[in-house]
Structure 1
């Protein structure tokens, strides 16, 4: 038999079998039933709001009218027109884009979906956890969850998937939520650097003399502003400091004291190279809000000034403590050595607010001079600066008091070089004398006082007193008692100055 005849016989047999099956079905034969109808799964996903404002204040997630940065999403699965069966972990939802712009939340009150954080008052509070993906149960074929915006503009793409348990076929649906936007116009610039200082050129202390830096350009919603055409940020070394001399900026083939740079994702990169001297380098950063282009002229400048300290060696920062000098006497020479801790020598000193006549040596910190100013309290500021140009300040307090002078301590008409008689006292009599000066605050002291006068008091009163011994002229031999002339010294002291006078008292025996 030829091959073609075999094929024709097989075809006729198959057609006959199909016809017989059709007859049996029409007659209700075969003993079977009509069976069940299975439709494929389908899924829907929608969001209450598909656009949210930027959450620049980091407002917490929530629901309702007081949750302007949050939205609710609804996911639903169907088999034909009927809800899919309920169960656990039926829907799988994932952030397929925009992770920097928002996060997913359950907000179902389940403690497993919450975490504890500090409340700022020493206590703890529970807040919802943020997710980038999770699974949801099916209740009546659906469920809901939430999306909360962050402070980064962008479009968040959320995808939810359901799997048909009969054939394991997955179906999914996505929704996009737009978070904020950018105006593309600069509103602020900011310097970012990994270093807090840099070293002088050629320093031997292994402090890097080149520092890589970034400058960020943001719009009024704190979103990155990239270059639209040409450079959109200018960096300039400001003159006027020792450290600025010899310093320069570099970026690729560009080098100099001023650079105009493009930004990628709102960030421009450059490096700063130091010069030979220490101190601050002030950097000016400028963007143009008018057209986001500094290369064609700056019409609406947005500027900041930041600083980079340049050091020769790493030391503790200089510090100077407050000091109270107490009483300082007017018109009398005075010295006091100021001291500091830390810093890189040599130190340089300066003081403002001292009484006239007092000054500080810039190199040694020696405070000296002869004050000649109004008496009373003074409060001065002392500043010390080290070789790294870092400085610290402290406070000097003192009380300027008047000095006692010879003319302030006069006894009658006596000359300073004379012995001043205080008077005559008889035997067995009491004697008292109070010394005075024309200035206040004087203390008194005595030297070579006779024994009979030592009952007096020194100190602030300047008072002496005593009783002479009784003499007996009729005695054999005669008893003269304390008769005679007594000389002693009295000293008036105020602050660091004093005046001493020699005085006398005569005791007679009738």
Structure 2
């Protein structure tokens, strides 16, 4: 009998323990976890300008989500990695953010990072995170889950957030080129149709038509966009557009997801090609006439060969004298010849040859005597250009009798004779002041020394210098100069006392 009573007491104790009574924890329960997920905002505007995520009134594109879990009405135990949340659908409409200040959730500059899924700990049975609207309208489904560690059951809760609800109008508001072939993106230009340098001469392109909410316009029926090559440039001649069975300088194209596909083929000439993209806001159809055009213009450069960039280095041409002929050859580095030259701001009387870059002419007597800064523009065969500046100073004209001493003709002018062994000095003079001097082909015994700029020659001839010798003398003032031929004859010199006459006697 005692054994039966003891057995019954143990059975009752076990039953009480299973019901949460007896000696067990009175807060313990066998109920399953329950999870809730709610959001402060169920709609957000389309984030057209990619405004950053944040918290507060200055973060209109961000909302906070709250996830909580309970068991038997009480918060679940806290700890790390309790909740897992992800964007189940509509990731293009926006990602998830922690916005908790944790460096692991920020880039090197402290900007918050975007995630498609996040993991959260639990504190008092819950936590919070954020959803940030992107530039694509739509509905995002956010789902969070929690796992009951005792039963292994996974409980889930979801919430929908609509981005740009009612913002899309379907009416075209903008059109833009969004894609080109990778090789063209790398190069940034096309080659001419027959270029020998293996530069691509055609490119596939895509045009995107967007509405007021910056969303792709509906495809529907009819042509959504018109592409036209604008006339007026050399490169436009012979260039054409192609898409399917269409080919020419104008295309009207339908779209898929608001995107129209076509290709541009270059012609034989270099330079820019301007393409006009037009859509019709009135009815999103350009095929039945364009009543409310929305247009942009895109430029494509066409070249014949790849060169280093064309460059003109600023240059100072010095002094230019009125009434005196002047020439100077302008040059560039890089670029593809031939070049086309133009210069603006020159004094009257000077001009540049468009094909050679030769600056020449005679400054007019009426030109102002001052410093000039003229602008040079050069265009190469690729129609690439450069600009620069040339400086020059215009001064008054020279007298008509500009001469070296009395040697004012093209005849040979004689300086007379120089005896062997006798020091010889001669100073040249000009009919105008501030002249600089230059001597060419001087006899070996004659030197200009440090006084050459003053027009002074000196030297002492020897027997081996005997005879007549010629040299050139050039006098320069500003950009004007004259050159004359002079001669001097070395003759027998007087023999000093005790000297050897042979050493002073010319043959």
**TM-score clears 0.5:** yes
**C-alpha spacing 1:498/1:159, structure 2 compared with 1 (3 Å):** closer
Give 2:266's aligned residue. Answer: 274
Give 2:389's aligned residue. Answer: 395
Partner of 2:91, secondary structure, is coil
Correspondence 1:205 to 2:205: no
**C-alpha spacing 1:267/1:320, structure 2 compared with 1 (3 Å):** same
Q: Check conservation: 2:319, 2:479, Cα contact below 8 A.
A: no
Correspondence 1:383 to 2:377: yes
Partner of 1:222, secondary structure, is coil
Q: Which moved more, 1:236-245 or 1:37-46?
A: 37-46
Give 1:374's aligned residue. Answer: 367
Aligned-pair Cα RMSD in Å: 3.2
Once the two structures are superposed, residues 43-74 of structure 1 have per-residue CA deviations (whole angstroms, 9 ceiling, x without a partner) of: 21110011112333333322222322211111
**C-alpha spacing 1:110/1:201, structure 2 compared with 1 (3 Å):** closer
Give 2:153's aligned residue. Answer: 169
**C-alpha spacing 1:247/1:112, structure 2 compared with 1 (3 Å):** closer
Give 1:89's aligned residue. Answer: 81
* Counterparts of residues 311-390 of structure 1 (less than 5 Å): 311-372=303-364, 373-375=366-368, 376-390=370-384
Give, in whole Å, the separation in 2 of the partners of 1:498 and 1:280: 46
Give 2:134's aligned residue. Answer: 150
Counterpart pick for 1:193 among 163, 180, 187: 180
Give, in whole Å, the separation in 2 of the partners of 1:29 and 1:459: 131
Give 1:451's aligned residue. Answer: none
Q: Check conservation: 2:144, 2:156, Cα contact below 8 A.
A: yes
Counterpart pick for 2:125 among 141, 152, 155: 141
Correspondence 1:244 to 2:236: yes
Partner of 2:208, secondary structure, is strand
Counterpart pick for 1:443 among 434, 459, 477: 434
Give, in whole Å, the separation in 2 of the partners of 1:335 and 1:128: 65
Q: CA deviation at 1:270?
A: 0.8
**C-alpha spacing 1:29/1:378, structure 2 compared with 1 (3 Å):** closer
Once the two structures are superposed, residues 80-123 of structure 1 have per-residue CA deviations (whole angstroms, 9 ceiling, x without a partner) of: 43333333322111111222322222233334333321xxxxxx
Give, in whole Å, the separation in 2 of the partners of 1:298 and 1:292: 9
Q: CA deviation at 1:251?
A: 1.0
Where structure 2 has 5 or more consecutive residues not aligned to the other structure, the ranges are: 1-7, 20-28, 410-428, 438-450, 455-473, 484-507
Partner of 1:343, secondary structure, is coil
Q: Give the TM-score taking structure 2 as reference length.
A: 0.71
Partner of 2:107, secondary structure, is strand
Give 2:445's aligned residue. Answer: none
Q: Check conservation: 2:435, 2:477, Cα contact below 8 A.
A: no
**C-alpha spacing 1:198/1:498, structure 2 compared with 1 (3 Å):** closer
Bigger-Rg structure (1/2): 1
Q: Which moved more, 1:96-105 or 1:321-330?
A: 96-105
Where structure 1 has 5 or more consecutive residues not aligned to the other structure, the ranges are: 1-26, 118-125, 410-415, 418-434, 447-456, 461-490, 501-510
Once the two structures are superposed, residues 151-205 of structure 1 have per-residue CA deviations (whole angstroms, 9 ceiling, x without a partner) of: 3333221101122223322221111112224332222222243421111112221
Give 1:59's aligned residue. Answer: 51
Q: CA deviation at 1:332?
A: 1.1
Give 1:426's aligned residue. Answer: none
Give, in whole Å, the separation in 2 of the partners of 1:265 and 1:134: 31
Give, in whole Å, the separation in 1 of the partners of 2:47 and 2:63: 13
Q: Check conservation: 1:152, 1:179, Cα contact below 8 A.
A: yes
Give, in whole Å, the separation in 2 of the partners of 1:187 and 1:316: 41
**C-alpha spacing 1:436/1:349, structure 2 compared with 1 (3 Å):** closer
Give, in whole Å, the separation in 1 of the partners of 2:357 and 2:308: 19
Partner of 1:100, secondary structure, is helix
* Counterparts of residues 297-308 of structure 1 (less than 5 Å): 297-308=289-300
